[in-house]
Amino acid sequence: MLIPTYEDVERAHERISAHVHETPVLTSRTFNDLTGAELFFKCENFQKAGVFKARGASNAVFSLSDAQAARGVATHSSGNHGLSLAYAAGRRGIPCHVVMPRTAPEAKKEAVRGYGGTITECEPSTSSREEVFARVVEETGAEFVHPYNDPRVIAGQGTCSKELLAQTGGLDAVIAPIGGGGMVSGTCLTLSSIAPDVEIFAAEPKQADDAWRSLRAGHIIADDAPVTVADGLKVPLKDLTWHFVKNHVSDILLAEEQEIIDAMYLIWQRMKIVVEPSSAVTLATILKNRETFAGKRVGVILTGGNVDLKKLPWM
C-alpha cells in the first residue's frame, strides 16, 4: 500500500492547475443563521466535468510517463469518475477506456463520449464488468485508474482543501461526504499535514452507512447494494481510504433520505446553485447536529453538480 504524502499533494497541485479550476468559496447568511456556524462552501460543482474528481483524474493522467500515456487510461465507472477521467485524458490527448453497463443512462454515455472517451459496454453484473475490463486492459495496455483507491487520485483530491484553507484563511472544521472515501482521504492528507487542528467530519447517507459502521467496528464493512438518492456515495471504503478515515476522521454523521433531499432543495433555493444529492448530505448533517458546529468556522465541500435536471428528487 503506497500512502501519498503532502508533498504529493503539492506536486499534484502544480501538475493539474492548468487543467482544473480553483473553485470559488461561497457563503450564505441564511445558512449561517440556520446553523449558528460560519459555513464556507467549496464549490466543486463548478469544477471541470462538474465534480471534484477532475482533480484526482487529472493528477493520475498527467503523472503518467509518455510511454504509459500513449497506451491510455482505463476505468470502470458509470458515474463521475468515468467522466472526469475522460475529461483529463482528453486534455492530454490520450485514449480513455470506460467500461460501463449497457443499462447505464444514455446521457451518461453521451457525456463520456463528449469528452472523447471510448465506452466498452458490459452486462450489469460484477463478473461481466471484471471480465470485460480485464480484456480492455489486456488489449490496450491502458493504465487502470481506480476511482478512489489510488494514491495519485487521493493526492489530487487533496488539492481541494489546500485551496479551501488558503481561500478562507483558516477553519475549525471541514466536512465532506463519504462514499469510497477519496475526497475525505485527500482532505485528511492535506489537513493533517498543514492544519492538524482542523477537525475532519464525514457525512454519509443513513441508507449507505458502511463507512459509519466501519469506523465503529474498526475494520472495513462493505454493503452489497445500498439504495440512496446520493448515488455517488454507494461504494465501499478500500484499504488506502480506510487508512485515512481510521486515522484522521473525528466522526461520521448520518442523514436520512428526506433530510438529504430537503438540504439539496435548500441549497438550490437559497444559494442558487445546482448540486447533486451527494453534495447535500453535508448540510443535512450540519442542520441536525447543530451543537457540533455552532460557533465554528466550517468548510463544507460541495462535491459536484451532475444531476439529471429532468428528474429532480423533490418532483
Residues in contact with a copy of itself by the rule CB under 8 A:
24, 26, 45-46, 50, 265, 268-269, 271-275, 305, 309-310, 312, 314-315
Q: For residue 173, which phi and psi values (nearest 5 degrees)?
A: -155, 155
User: Contact, 76 vs 98, CB < 8 A?
Assistant: yes
| Helices of type H across 119-254 | 126-140, 151-168, 182-194, 210-217, 239-248
When the beta carbons of 45 and 157 are compared against a copy of itself, the nearer one is 45
44, exposed or middle or buried, with CB in 10 Å at 0-12, 13-18, 19+?
buried
CB of 272 to a copy of itself, least distance (A): 4
CB of 315 to a copy of itself, least distance (A): 7
CB of 273 to a copy of itself, least distance (A): 6
When the beta carbons of 176 and 274 are compared against a copy of itself, the nearer one is 274
46, exposed or middle or buried, with CB in 10 Å at 0-12, 13-18, 19+?
middle
When the beta carbons of 89 and 240 are compared against a copy of itself, the nearer one is 89
CB of 282 to a copy of itself, least distance (A): 17
Q: What pairs with residue 121 in β-bridges?
A: 100
When the beta carbons of 61 and 307 are compared against a copy of itself, the nearer one is 307
CB of 201 to a copy of itself, least distance (A): 24
Closest CA to 50 of 281, 286, 278, 266: 278
When the beta carbons of 221 and 312 are compared against a copy of itself, the nearer one is 312
